[in-house]
Amino acid sequence: MAEQASTYRTNGDNGDEGNTDGEHNEWKHRAPYKVHDNDPDFHARYEASCHCGKVCYQLSREKPLDSKYCHCTTCQKLHGAPFQWAAIFHKEDINFTQGHHDLGWYESADKTTVHKLPCKVSCAYCRTPIMDEGRNMILLFPTLINFKSPEDRKNFEPSCHMFYPRRILDINDGKPKWSGINNDSELIEDSPEQDKKRKREEDAKKPTDEKE
């Protein structure tokens, strides 16, 4: 989902503001890395960890803002998998209970290991991908969450597939399948008919210059 990371940028952001690899490590004191110890407003609903257990975090939101499958080649390479399953959260929705000092960074655009947004975050010990951090949001990986029930897991049910033409295998699950980022690209043929109809209606309402 690296192609979508740039959509988290806000007007007025620049490269210097996004680079938090400063000598004072100020990133440790702001979301999503600051610790919510004794915060009465943070109610942990889920717990998650990397493979080795050095990095652990909690989530306070019951459902992600969205959940998607991404088939872009960057996700395939970085995850060593046919596709990526990611869930979008606000930065304040996460609380690191352990290991936020044991994180590694990777900025895929420049291929550097600095904390420059947007960037990819992993456990520095076992290399488990922890999240993608954008300027405003984070993309978490639900496979790290210790779900206590099937109902909890269902809250993270993906809504669609992105970059589906780059897929390694066909997935006939009845979900919308986009050629690129969802709602900003074309729906391909085996998407549900109601989604294709909705997209055609939305495109028909756009001004002529936008269609071009």
Any residues with CB less than 8 A from the CB of 154 and at least 6 apart, and which? none
Res. 48 pLDDT band, cuts 50 70 90: very high
- Tell me: the pLDDT tens digits for 55-85? 999 999 999 999 999 999 999 999 999 999 9
Q: Is residue 197 part of a domain?
A: no
95 in a structural domain = yes
In a domain, 207, yes or no: no
Confirm whether 65 is domain-assigned. Answer: yes
Task: Please check the confidence at residue 15 and state whether its pLDDT lies above 70.
Answer: no
Residue 128 lies in a domain: yes
What was the pLDDT predicted at 198?
A: 72
Distance CA 209, CA 85 (A): 35
- Measuring CA to CA, which residue among 133, 108, 109, 112 is closest to residue 57? 133
Count of domains forming the chain:
1
Per-residue confidence (pLDDT) for residue 17, from 0 to 100: 41
Share of the chain above pLDDT 90, in %: 63
Kindly state the helix (H) or strand (E) to which residue 79 belongs, with its residue range: helix 73-79
Which run of H or E residues covers position 74? helix 73-79
pTM for the complete prediction?
0.78
Write the CATH number for 146.
2.170.150.70
pLDDT score, position 203: 72
Instruction: Give the pLDDT score at 1.
Output: 62
Domain annotation covers residue 184: no
Average pLDDT over residues 139-154: 96
Inform me whether the pLDDT recorded for 26 exceeds 90: no
Mean pLDDT of 162-175: 94
- Better-predicted residue by pLDDT, 113 or 18: 113
Q: Which domain holds residue 59?
A: 2-161
* Arithmetic mean of pLDDT over the chain: 85
- Which single residue is written with the structure tokens 């969450």? 145
Q: Which two tokens stand for residue 79?
A: 């995850």
Within a domain: 79: yes
166 located within any domain: no
Residue showing tokens 């995850």: 79
Q: Give the torsion sign (CA, 163, 123, 91, 147).
A: positive
pLDDT digits (tens, 9 = 90+) for 87-125: 999 999 999 999 988 999 999 999 999 888 999 999 999
Collect all residues with Cβ–Cβ distance below 8 Å to 79 and sequence separation of at least 6.
129
Name the residue with tokens 């609380």.
95
- The residue that leads in pLDDT, 173 or 2, is 173
